[in-house]
A = this chain, B = another copy of it.
Amino acid sequence: MAGFLQAGGRAVVVAIDHPLYTWPVPGLERRSELIEQVVEAGADALIASYGTVRDCRAVFGRARAILKLDVTVVSVREYRPAEWAVAYAVEDAARLGADAVLTLVELGTEGELAALASAARVAAAADRVGLPYVCEILPVASPAFPDPFAPAVIAGATRAAAELGAHVVKTAIPSPPAGIREAVDCGVPVLLAGGEPAADRKAYLAGLAEALSAGAAGVAVGRNVWGGGDPAGTVRRLASLVHTGRLR
């Protein structure tokens, strides 16, 4: 069982790994300040890079560290789609005292098989050292997945991750959000990826609420926490939603 899940198997996770591969990242210029705010506001865990887990761990406080093990090319201003490569080992995570590991699998890309094989190896290695493995698995618009947000596609992705050995799955919110029900049937906790910054914050939170009601275990949000104003307030709203089911 993943230790960062709270009683009830639910979690609010904040992703702060973006500067590993893109810049600028408004809101994340100074890591420690943001980390302190979101932890204080109730984040259960943070997804962070090797450098951040090593150098900023002291300010994580009671929040758990989920170490991202893969890297990609650096984008400045315009995002460059590219493959990801697993570069850190589960042993590196254990040495840093991280609480879990994460890799990304994009379905429908040229590197899909390599990413799936890496995920399988990480899952087995994580069991070997006793760390939970979070598989972030995202269908990408492609000939294989013309509608990457269809509930059956999200469910197929989630189930594949569960079969590979993920202890927790992070995936996209399907359309409609209640379609996550098909994915959660596999019994592995599913975290909802935050995705693109939402123009309509209210509709965004309503979608999360719908997916959480349908069985999602929590959220793993980045830009929608620190990309706008008031990250602490956003985390508090997410925590209320995830842990009590109420929108504040």
Contacts and interface: CB of A to CB of B under 8 A. Distances in A.
Interface of A: 17, 19-24, 29-32, 49-52, 54-55, 71-77, 80, 82-83, 85, 87-89, 92, 95, 107, 112-114, 116-117, 120-121, 123-124, 127-128, 139, 144-145, 150, 152-153, 155-157, 159-160, 162-166, 182, 185-188
Contacts of A128: 95
Given A107-B74, A113-B72, A145-B76, A163 B121 contact: no
Q: Which of A29, A85, A89, A120 has the most chain B CB atoms closer than 10 A to its own CB?
A: A120
Contact of A87 (B24, B32, B120, B150): B120
Contact of A52 (B72, B127, B163): B163
Contacts of A157: 74
B116 A74 contact: yes
A27 to B, nearest CB: 13
A89 B124 contact: yes
A50 B164 contact: yes
A54 B127 contact: yes
Q: Which of A22, A124, A166 has the most chain B CB atoms closer than 10 A to its own CB?
A: A124
5 contacts: A19-B159, A23-B152, A76-B150, A85-B113, A89-B124
A112 B74 contact: yes
Q: Which of A51, A88, A128 has the most chain B CB atoms closer than 10 A to its own CB?
A: A51
B123 A75 contact: no
A83 B163 contact: no
A153 B160 CA distance: 32
Contact of A49 (B22, B89, B121, B164): B164
A9 to B, nearest CB: 14
Given A75-B144, A76-B156, A185-B30, A82 B113 contact: yes
Given A73-B112, A85-B113, 11 more contacts: A20-B160, A23-B155, A29-B185, A30-B187, A50-B165, A72-B116, A74-B156, A74-B160, A75-B156, A76-B150, A87-B120
Given A51-B166, A88-B124, A95-B127, A23 B160 contact: yes
B163 A120 contact: no
Which are the 10 A-B pairs with shortest beta-carbon distances?
A: A23-B156, A87-B120, A49-B163, A20-B163, A87-B117, A76-B156, A92-B124, A85-B117, A51-B165, A51-B163
A106 to B, nearest CB: 11
